[in-house]
Amino acid sequence: MSESPRTPIYMTPACAARLRQELKDLLYKERPEMVQTAAWAAGNGDRSENADYQYAKRRLRQIDGRIRFLTKRLESAEIVDPVAQAKIANGRILFGATVTYENEEGDEKTVSIIGVDEYDPGKGYVSWTAPIAKAILGKREGDEIRFQTPGGLSELVIVAVEYLPLD
């Protein structure tokens, strides 16, 4: 996802830990292994026609690009603990909140508002930049909300707001 430099990069501690682990794996496991593969392949003759060498070099470029991305992302990130948010929320919905709402059809849904790197609809994790999250941020339990979605106008009622540890 490309974001403007002014867009904050929020993430939970769990997301930051996952990204740090990925960076560590790339730096200390995958990259060194691929450097060895490239060196081995380079010793097998003409590099211009050596598929192993070309693959290793291409993979190294991919790894290096991901390392640069993760490094910049983690340096710029503002890590927000959902449990700590409860202390300052004062009943409002903030980043990290787990919110249960009832839609127009009477169905209850629960979502957790997280960073763009953590988006996972299967877990009910929605990015703080998503239309639903933008509509409910700052609201409170019992509030009725109308907001625009790509599918049209939606209405919902906030049923519960919690601040739970997110994995």
Per-residue tokens: 134: 């933008």
Per-residue tokens: 123: 């877990």
Sequence-separated (6 or more) residues with CB below 8 Å from residue 115: 9, 10, 11, 12, 15, 77, 95, 127, 128
The residues that bridge with 146 in the sheet, in sequence order, are 155
82-162: same fold as 9-79?
no
pTM, whole model, 2 decimals? 0.84
Distinct helix (H) and strand (E) counts, the chain: 5, 7
Q: What is the rounded distance in angstroms from the CA atom of residue 67 to the CA atom of residue 71?
A: 6
* pLDDT > 60? residue 4: no
Q: What is the mean pLDDT of residues 96-118?
A: 95
Q: Provide the edge-to-edge strand list for the sheet that holds 108-114.
A: 125-127, 108-114, 98-103, 152-162, 144-149
Count other Cβ atoms within 10 Å, centred on residue 51: 8
The residues that bridge with 99 in the sheet, in sequence order, are 111, 161
- The answer to whether 82 and 94 are in contact (CB under 8 A) is no
Q: What is the mean pLDDT of residues 13-33?
A: 97
The dihedrals phi and psi of 131, each to the nearest 5 degrees, come to -55, -45
Q: Which ranges of the chain would DSSP assign to H, the alpha helix?
A: 13-25, 31-42, 51-76, 82-89, 131-136
> How is domain 9-79 classified at the architecture level of CATH?
Orthogonal Bundle (1.10)
Q: Where do the domains of the chain lie?
A: 9-79, 82-162
> How is domain 82-162 classified at the architecture level of CATH?
Roll (3.10)
43-85 per-position pLDDT tens digit: 887 777 888 899 999 999 999 999 999 999 999 999 999 999 9
110-146 per-position pLDDT tens digit: 999 999 999 999 999 999 999 999 999 999 999 999 9
